[in-house]
Structure formats: C-alpha cells, structure tokens
A and B are shown apart, each in its own frame.
Chain A
Amino acid sequence: MRQNRRKQRRGNDCGFAARRVLTSEKKKNLEEKVEEEIRAGLAALKEPLNQFEKETGELLAGLEIPPLSYFTALVHDNLTIRQKASWREILSFSLIAVTFFSLIGYLLHHGYLLPVAGFFALAALLLPTVLLFAEEN
C-alpha cells in the first residue's frame, strides 16, 4: 500500500517536473520566436529608421553646444540651491524631532501612557501605507 503511494507520488513528481520542463521550453521557444520577429521587423524598417537618425543628426549638427561657462554656472547655481535646501531640511528635521520628543516626554510625564501607545500603534500601521504612495524622485 505504502509502496504504491510512494510510486504514485514519484510518478506525480515526475509529471510535474516534465510539465515544468515543457512549459519552460515553450516559453523559451516563444521568446525566441518573438526575438526573431523583432529582428526581422527592425531589419525591414532599417532604411527609414536610419534615414530618421541621419535627419536628426543633421539637425543637431546645425545646433551649437552651449559654452562650458554656461554649464559651470548651471552647476554652481544648482549646487548652491541644493546645499541651501539640505541645510533647511536638516534644521527643520531637528526642530520637528526635538518638538515631537519633548511632547511625547511631556505626555508620558503627565501619565498619558495609553494614548501615546495608541498613537505609536496607529503610526506603525499607517506608515507603510504612506510609504507605498510616496512619489519617487
């Protein structure tokens, strides 16, 4: 009885493995087919695509690259803005942190343990949700 079950299980395992191999082979074949179609399509479009690149190149050749002084000024201005912004960020962060912890300390000192614990539990629950919707830079 046990042997039969083992055989059946082994048979099932082999079936799954075989199916997995078949699926991955199918997937590979499909990818190759798609790849081939992309290559053929691009080859057929080669002439107009190259012509378009040539036209773009000609248009670009007629344009002037701004001088180095322009880029240096751009870098200088933006680095200064960034530095100022980062200082402002550090200061505001420190100020908010100190205020927040002072408030927590004040509340705990006056015996509001449960509301504080509730607030932290709520924050722990909501923070991941807020992070999910945060915009990427």
Chain B
Amino acid sequence: MEKKPLQNLGQTRVPEEQLLASLLQANYMKVLGYFLKLTQDLDQAKDLTQETMVKAIRNYPQYRGEAQFASWLIAIGTNLYRDALRKQKSSQRQDPAALAGAGRPVPSVVNIDLKQALLQLPPEKRLPLILKYYYDYSYQEIAACLRIPVGTVRSRLHSAVHSLRRLMEEKLPSEKQNQSS
C-alpha cells in the first residue's frame, strides 16, 4: 500500500501545505487533460479542475493512500462532473432554451467525427470509455470510481464502443456523399 505522503513529514503545517501543493501541481495537467477529453471545452475543463483541487484539499484527511494520488483526484473529479451534469439537467428542465447549445465547443476540423461522436455519447457511457482507453483503468477501478457494479461497467463500455462505431460509420457515408457532390 502506498504511504500517505504527508505522514512522512514533520508536524509543522507549512511543509505539509507545500507538499500537498506540489502534489496538486504535479497532477494538474493530468486532471485538466481528463476533463478536456470529457468536456472538449477548455474553460469548463479548467473550472472543473479548479473545483477538483479545492475539494481534494478539503477532503485530504479522507485520503488513505490506497490509490495513487492522481487516481484519487480523478475519482473526485468524476463525481464533480456528474454533479455538474445533474445540475445542468435540472436547470435545462426548468429553462430548456437557456442551455441549448451552451458550453458546446466548436470542434476543430481534424478528427471532427470522433469528437462529435464522443460528445453525442451520454456521460455514463463516455466516462468508462475514457477511463478505460486513455487511463487504462481496470473494470474494478472504474466501478469504484463511478460507484456502479463491475458488470454494469462492462456493459456500458460495450455499449459505448458500439455506439461510437455506429456514429462514426453514419458520419462517413454522409461525408463521402458531400465530397462527391
């Protein structure tokens, strides 16, 4: 088991703060990259990263060092992202026009299909796919992170891959048609 980093330090608070600060700095880009893949919106990704850092500092006593610090941050971030989506959904229900198209970035020309297809995937499918493919999480780790059974992770991942392929295949013929005309 990985030792909790701050346990090895002295009792003074300043080095503790500095160590936690350096841990956060070291993992900043990893968390930002994770949110960037999820949201494809730099501003939203930055906001979520900031919120994750703050929540991690406040919940630091609960970090038992069982997982890597980066994984712990990603788990916190995932919960924050799901909370943000829930809030967004409820506000959409109250005012559907307010958020229609809001926060949706304009995808770059390169790799446009996959980006669009990824955004079209519902978050509960997008999350396991990103955690599995880009971060090489095991099913157990994803299940723990998303608080769902392992079987559900497998089925969501299967469904995500299937939907992504279908979406991309739908895009390809229409693009070919456009090019020929």
Chain A positions within 8 Å of B, measured between CB atoms, are 31, 34-35, 37-38, 41-42, 44-45, 48-49, 51-53, 55-57, 59-60, 63, 65-66, 68, 71-72, 74-76, 78-79, 81-82, 137
A38-B158, A63-B29, A74-B54 known, 16 other contacts, Cβ within 8 Å = A31-B154, A34-B155, A35-B154, A38-B154, A45-B164, A52-B37, A53-B134, A56-B33, A57-B33, A59-B36, A65-B29, A68-B21, A68-B22, A75-B17, A75-B57, A81-B58
Judge whether B57 and A37 touch: CB under 8 Å.
no
B176 to chain A, nearest CB (A): 16
Q: Considering residues A37, A45, A82, which has the most beta carbons from chain B within 10 angstroms of its beta carbon?
A: A45
Tell me the number of A-to-B contacts counted with CB atoms below 8 Å.
97
A55 to chain B, nearest CB (A): 6
Given contacts A71-B24, A78-B57, whether A49 and B114 have CB atoms under 8 Å apart is yes
In the complex, which residues of chain B have a beta carbon less than 8 angstroms from the beta carbon of A65? 25, 28-29
- Kindly identify which residue among B13, B36, B132, B158 contacts A56, using a CB–CB cutoff of 8 Å: B36
Judge whether B134 and A74 touch: CB under 8 Å.
no
Question: Is B180 in contact with chain A by the CB < 8 A criterion?
Answer: no
A64 to chain B, nearest CB (A): 10
In the complex, which residues of chain B have a beta carbon less than 8 angstroms from the beta carbon of A44? 165
- Interface size classification for chain B: 35 or more
Judge whether B25 and A51 touch: CB under 8 Å.
no
Expressed in whole angstroms, the Cα–Cα distance for A78 and B57 within the complex equals 7
In the complex, which residues of chain A have a beta carbon less than 8 angstroms from the beta carbon of B108? 55
Judge whether B161 and A42 touch: CB under 8 Å.
yes
Closest to B34 in A: A56
- Enumerate the 8 nearest inter-chain pairs by beta-carbon distance, A residue then B residue, closest first: A41-B161, A71-B21, A48-B114, A78-B57, A72-B21, A75-B17, A75-B21, A71-B25
